[in-house]
């Protein structure tokens, strides 16, 4: 009973003002990706966590920081890794989020994009929902756990990665360098409005290019129109049924044609056209099999059109991820969540991808995705997070974290 009271006391240490203030400060630090520029935010969080007594490492993403062929961008990109030491008797708990945001886009914003304004019960600005509020809540939970003095049988790690919105370069670097050795449980603070997600779709981005031959626009029969050829490819893609079995949490596979470009000038027959595809895959579906199915559809077109030439290029390849909702660490998290929220959540699936697509295949640890942001406001103008959800998330993380570190099963 005394220990349960100590856990409740830790939750009571959560300061809404601190959680809101840090979230607002992070929103005011522009880190839209591309180009990223996460270093300022990483340093800001690092100063906070260093003052709390954590071991803090800022990991730069410069030339040679990742695998061959990966573009790390400029020297103002970085990932944060902070560690609160425990007794080393069980695997670590990892609170994980990302520092970058999507670009603001061309739509008009009612408030400045990086205002961080606190108004109408919300924090406003780019990244407020996706997912600087998740990081703000996690840092506040770390403070509450640290200052409570509760026993910690394992380490508590907080990671704030670069590049999640494009290629997960920060997560990949942490795995490549072995900095997340033997984690026991991941809590990823992506926007779920504090719902509990245990599965996410895979992401396969492809670039398709058709090649033609230029000619004068008044003599189109002398050329090969790459845009017309791409039209045939698009029609075939829309009719393509990618083999898969619908997943109970994730639903079915989807294919979206996201961009198109082609041609040089109105009076020239275009010799090139390019589209990009966004395919969202489900558990049991092979990304390699998807690529093979698309290439087979193109080859079938070539059988009826000898002048059709098309190339397929891989851009992003993230596998779908699923962990068992019955894993011990997941069940304990769900119980703590219910105690804070007074509602019993069922495990959900996410159509979006997160750094879990890097962390979980590499470590085989269980995870949940749970964060205060609203999924419907991610990647949209006038982004905001509700303060009520932000504070609730900090309390969930605090109670769940305190219980795990006190000796929760590792959930293996």
Q: How far apart are CA 150 and CA 146, in angstroms?
A: 7
β-bridge partners, 186? 94, 367
The end-to-end CA distance of the chain, in Å, is: 28
Q: What is residue 66's predicted lDDT score, i.e. its pLDDT?
A: 36
Q: What is residue 138's predicted lDDT score, i.e. its pLDDT?
A: 98
Structure tokens at 96: 């994980």
Q: What is residue 1's predicted lDDT score, i.e. its pLDDT?
A: 59
Q: How far apart are CA 163 and CA 98, in angstroms?
A: 7
- Whether the CB-CB separation of 208 and 258 falls below 8 Å is answered with no
Say whether the peptide bond before residue 71 is cis (omega within 30 degrees of 0).
no
DSSP-derived pairing of the beta strands 309-318 and 202-211: antiparallel
Q: How far apart are CA 159 and CA 387, in angstroms?
A: 23
Q: How far apart are CA 62 and CA 350, in angstroms?
A: 32
Residue 233 burial class via C-beta count within 10 angstroms: exposed 0-12, middle 13-18, buried 19 and up:
buried
pLDDT averages per 10-residue partition of the chain, 412 residues: 79 98 98 96 98 97 46 75 96 98 93 97 98 98 96 97 96 96 95 98 97 98 98 97 94 97 98 98 94 97 96 96 97 97 95 97 97 96 98 98 79 36
- Whether the CB-CB separation of 175 and 356 falls below 8 Å is answered with no
Say whether the peptide bond before residue 88 is cis (omega within 30 degrees of 0).
no
- Whether the CB-CB separation of 80 and 46 falls below 8 Å is answered with yes
Enter the DSSP assignment of 372: S
Domains of the chain by range and CATH?
2-200+320-405 (3.40.630.10), 202-318 (3.30.70.360)
Residue 320 burial class via C-beta count within 10 angstroms: exposed 0-12, middle 13-18, buried 19 and up:
buried
């Amino acid at each position: 009973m005394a220990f349960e009271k100590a856990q409740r006391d830790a939750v009571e240490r959560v300061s809404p003002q601190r959680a809101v203030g840090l979230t607002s400060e992070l929103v005011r630090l522009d880190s839209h990706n591309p180009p990223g520029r996460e270093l300022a935010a990483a340093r800001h969080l690092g100063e906070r966590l260093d003052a709390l007594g954590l071991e803090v490492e800022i990991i730069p993403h410069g030339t040679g920081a990742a695998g061959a062929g990966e573009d790390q961008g400029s020297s103002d990109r970085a990932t944060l890794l902070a560690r609160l030491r425990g007794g080393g008797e069980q695997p670590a708990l990892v609170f994980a989020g990302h520092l970058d945001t999507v670009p603001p886009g061309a739509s008009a914003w009612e408030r400045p994009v990086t205002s961080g304004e606190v108004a109408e019960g919300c924090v406003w600005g780019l990244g407020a929902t996706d997912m600087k509020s998740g990081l703000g809540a996690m840092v506040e939970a770390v403070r509450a756990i640290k200052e409570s003095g509760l026993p910690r049988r394992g380490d508590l790690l907080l990671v704030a990665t670069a590049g999640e919105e494009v290629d997960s370069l920060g997560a990949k670097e942490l795995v490549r360098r072995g900095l997340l050795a033997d984690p026991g449980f991941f809590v990823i603070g992506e926007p779920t409005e504090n719902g509990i997600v245990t599965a996410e779709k895979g992401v396969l981005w492809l670039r398709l290019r058709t090649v033609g031959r230029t000619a004068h626009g008044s003599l189109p029969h002398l050329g090969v129109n790459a845009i017309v050829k791409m039209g045939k490819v698009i029609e075939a893609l829309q009719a393509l049924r990618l083999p898969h079995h619908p997943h109970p949490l994730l639903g079915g596979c989807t294919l979206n044609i996201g961009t198109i470009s082609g041609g040089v000038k109105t009076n020239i027959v275009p010799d090139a056209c390019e589209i990009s595809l966004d395919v969202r895959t489900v558990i049991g579906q092979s990304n390699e099999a998807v690529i093979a199915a698309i290439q087979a559809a193109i080859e079938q077109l070539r059988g009826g059109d000898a002048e059709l030439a098309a190339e397929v290029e891989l851009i992003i390849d993230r596998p779908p991820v699923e962990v068992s909702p019955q894993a011990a660490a997941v069940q304990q998290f769900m119980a703590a969540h219910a105690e804070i929220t007074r509602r019993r959540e069922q495990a959900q699936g996410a159509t979006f991808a997160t750094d879990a697509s890097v962390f979980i295949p590499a470590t085989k640890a269980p995870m949940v995705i749970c964060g205060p942001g609203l999924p419907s406001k991610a990647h949209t103008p006038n982004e905001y997070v509700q303060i009520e959800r932000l504070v609730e998330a900090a309390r969930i993380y605090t109670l769940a974290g305190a219980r795990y570190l006190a000796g929760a099963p590792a959930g293996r």
